[in-house]
């Protein structure tokens, strides 16, 4: 693989310098200018980056789509966002106008990213460039990220991690970028960068590949995020690569809010302190501040936090406290030194699999569209590679496991497919008639 030099951008086999990228973006800007919202199929390719940049320059809201999104997910995102054009590589098509106006007019949305909740289809999260800049400035400070760095990663370009941090980050800082197409241990080892981004699954796979782990010993900084890094993986990378990753924590809605610093000692499970311009607090079940080291729900506010979901006033008001803090839904603790640890999620219906956030309800709804499925319950079960794997429990008249997995894949993205389906004659329910997912997992 060719390696991006300082300040060049390499994606797969293609490399451009800054001027070359600006030229690609300028060409694309002519195609999309005037559209309020443009969707782009986020292939790992320079054309995706050029479309995003063109949108930012032309003040067109860009909605990146997962390249493997199934029909139900894709139609929802295109309709909900009000996208007028769909860019797929070199191909641009016009979309039918949405049934009612979905145009993003009262929120600052340079990007619109879709993310799953516990129920229903994914929600649109408008992200402003002001928030992106604040986030990158904070991370550059925490990690000493500079023009001299070459960032390497192979993460998908339709999420905050791969796109906002992993592409807009190097462009803002002026560092080089090598995107490896997929985040495989071999590709990371061959890329020769100074900084590497990965979700825990990527680090787990690198830790089990001795040659890849050794090759990363020449890197300046390894960074893990999007889910909790398992302690044994932290230890294994420390032993093999001579350094453990720094961890940082964030959400689509808030961008990155907490980060361990490159110049501080690293410790397992620590996601560091709030970035500049961010405030974080831990509250108990009554909303009162928790004492140092006590666990509670993490709430954040500040420059990188979004102002609300697109077209979802109820979901928005539920996710903010009356005094304006965003309820993350994550359970955490903070030491007297301000260093945070994430210990879990308040709701077991948000699953993190390979760093992807998947709502149990979204997968259940997809299963229920199958004519032979009467009832469905989806849970995340512990998985050494993925953190959690999606498992479905189904009451069905004649459906088979592979057929149902395939059925979900035609509706949603590939990583939302259940890895296993168990067939039951009835789902366990509590006295209120609600499915008792605890008993399913047991």
Find the shortest distance in angstroms from Cβ 417 to ligand MCA.
Answer: 3
Find the shortest distance in angstroms from Cβ 286 to ligand MCA.
Answer: 28
Among ligand AMP, ligand MCA, none, residue 342 binds (CB under 5-8 Å by kind)? ligand AMP
**CA pair distance 397, 412, nearest whole angstrom:** 23
> Does residue 115 bind ligand AMP (CB under 6 A)?
yes
Report the residue from 4, 55, 156, 359 that binds ligand MCA according to the rule CB under 6 A: 156
Q: Which residue is associated with the tokens 């932290």?
A: 234
- Residue with smaller CB distance to ligand MCA, 199 or 367: 199
| Number of residues engaging ligand MCA in binding (CB under 6 A) | 24
> Does residue 226 bind ligand MCA (CB under 6 A)?
yes
Q: Binding string, 218-257, against ligand AMP, x = CB under 6 A?
A: -------xxxx------------------x-xxxx-----
> Does residue 225 bind ligand MCA (CB under 6 A)?
yes
CA-based nearest residue to 103, from 15, 47, 46, 37: 37
Q: Is 56 helix (H, G, I), strand (E, B) or coil?
A: helix
> Does residue 7 bind ligand MCA (CB under 6 A)?
no
Residues 401-430 within binding reach of ligand MCA (CB under 6 A): 405, 414-415, 417-419
Instruction: List b or e across 402-435, with b for residues whose CB sees 16 or more CB atoms inside 10 angstroms.
Output: eebbebbbebbbebbbbeebeeeeebeeeeeeeb
The per-residue DSSP string of 281-337 comes to EEE-TTSPBPPTT--EEEEEEETT-----TT-HHHHHHHB-TTS-EEEEEEEEE-TT
**CA dist 18 → 56, 123, 156 (Å):** 16, 33, 21
User: Residue 379's Cα: distance from chain center in Å?
Assistant: 19
Residues 237-296 within binding reach of ligand MCA (CB under 6 A): 250-252
- Residue with smaller CB distance to ligand AMP, 195 or 342: 342
> Does residue 356 bind ligand MCA (CB under 6 A)?
yes
Pairing of strands 246-251, 387-396: unpaired
Among ligand MCA, ligand AMP, none, residue 36 binds (CB under 5-8 Å by kind)? none
Report the residue from 9, 160, 244, 440 that binds ligand AMP according to the rule CB under 6 A: 160
- Residue with smaller CB distance to ligand MCA, 55 or 225: 225
> Does residue 66 bind ligand AMP (CB under 6 A)?
no
> Does residue 21 bind ligand MCA (CB under 6 A)?
no
> Does residue 201 bind ligand AMP (CB under 6 A)?
no
Find the shortest distance in angstroms from Cβ 225 to ligand AMP.
Answer: 5
- Residue with smaller CB distance to ligand AMP, 47 or 236: 236
Find the shortest distance in angstroms from Cβ 388 to ligand MCA.
Answer: 11
> Does residue 392 bind ligand AMP (CB under 6 A)?
no
**CA pair distance 67, 413, nearest whole angstrom:** 8
Pairing of strands 420-423, 387-396: parallel
Q: What are the tokens at 269? A: 């499970």
- Residue with smaller CB distance to ligand AMP, 85 or 151: 151
Residue 113 and residue 124 in contact, taking contact as beta carbons nearer than 8 Å:
yes
Residues 184-213 within binding reach of ligand MCA (CB under 6 A): 199, 201-202
The per-residue DSSP string of 417-436 comes to S-SEEEE-SS--B-TTS-B-
Find the shortest distance in angstroms from Cβ 194 to ligand MCA.
Answer: 20
Cβ contacts of residue 338 below 8 Å, gap of 6+? 273, 274
Q: What are the tokens at 32? A: 């999309």
Q: Is 354 helix (H, G, I), strand (E, B) or coil?
A: coil
Find the shortest distance in angstroms from Cβ 252 to ligand AMP.
Answer: 4
Report the residue from 74, 76, 153, 159 that binds ligand MCA according to the rule CB under 6 A: 159
3-state secondary structure 179-241: ECCCCCHHHHHHHCCCEEEECHHHHHHHHCCHHHHHHHHHCCEEEECCCCCCHHHHHHHHHHH
Q: Is 86 helix (H, G, I), strand (E, B) or coil?
A: strand
| Number of residues engaging ligand AMP in binding (CB under 6 A) | 18
- Binding residues for ligand MCA (CB under 6 A): 155-156, 159-162, 183, 199, 201-202, 225-226, 250-252, 354-356, 405, 414-415, 417-419
- Binding residues for ligand AMP (CB under 6 A): 115, 160, 225-228, 247, 249-252, 271, 328, 330, 342, 345, 352, 357
């Amino acid at each position: 693989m060719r390696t991006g030099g300082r300040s060049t951008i390499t994606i797969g086999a293609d490399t451009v310098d800054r001027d070359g990228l600006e030229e690609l973006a300028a060409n694309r800007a002519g195609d999309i200018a005037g559209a309020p919202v443009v969707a782009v199929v986020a292939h790992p390719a320079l054309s995706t980056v050029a479309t995003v940049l063109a949108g930012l320059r032309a003040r067109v809201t860009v909605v990146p789509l997962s390249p493997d999104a199934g029909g139900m997910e894709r139609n929802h995102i295109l309709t909900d966002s009000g996208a007028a054009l769909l860019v797929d590589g070199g191909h641009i098509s016009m979309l039918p106008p949405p049934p009612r106006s979905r145009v993003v007019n009262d929120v600052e949305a340079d990007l619109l990213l879709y993310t799953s909740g516990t129920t229903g289809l994914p929600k649109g999260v408008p992200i402003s460039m002001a928030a992106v800049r604040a986030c990158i400035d904070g991370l550059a400070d925490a990690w000493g990220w500079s023009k001299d760095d070459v960032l390497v990663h192979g993460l998908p370009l339709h999420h905050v991690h791969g796109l906002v941090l992993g592409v807009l980050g190097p462009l803002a800082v002026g560092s080089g970028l090598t995107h490896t197409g997929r985040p495989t241990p071999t590709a990371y080892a061959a890329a020769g960068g100074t900084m590497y981004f990965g979700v825990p699954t990527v680090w787990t796979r690198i830790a089990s590949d001795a040659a890849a782990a050794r090759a990363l010993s020449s890197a300046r900084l390894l960074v893990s995020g999007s889910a909790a890094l398992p302690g044994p993986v932290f230890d294994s990378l420390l032993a093999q690569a001579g350094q453990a990753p720094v961890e940082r924590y964030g959400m689509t809605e808030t961008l990155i809010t907490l980060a361990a610093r490159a110049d501080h000692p690293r410790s397992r499970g620590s996601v560091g302190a709030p970035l500049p311009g961010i405030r974080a607090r831990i509250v108990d079940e009554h909303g009162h501040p928790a004492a140092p080291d006590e666990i509670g729900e993490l709430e954040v506010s500040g420059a990188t936090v979004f102002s609300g979901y697109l077209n979802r006033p109820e979901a928005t008001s539920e996710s903010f406290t009356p005094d304006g803090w965003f309820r993350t839904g994550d359970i955490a603790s903070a030491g007297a030194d301000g260093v945070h640890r994430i210990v879990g999620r308040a709701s077991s219906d948000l699953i993190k699999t390979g760093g992807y956030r998947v709502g149990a309800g979204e997968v259940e709804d997809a299963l229920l569209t199958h004519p032979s499925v009467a009832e469905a319950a989806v849970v995340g079960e512990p998985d050494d590679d993925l953190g959690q794997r999606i498992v479905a429990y189904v009451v069905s008249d004649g459906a088979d496991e592979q057929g149902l997995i395939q059925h979900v894949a035609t509706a949603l993205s590939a990583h939302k497919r259940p890895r296993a389906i168990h067939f039951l004659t009835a789902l366990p329910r509590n006295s209120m008639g609600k499915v008792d997912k605890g008993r399913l997992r047991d």
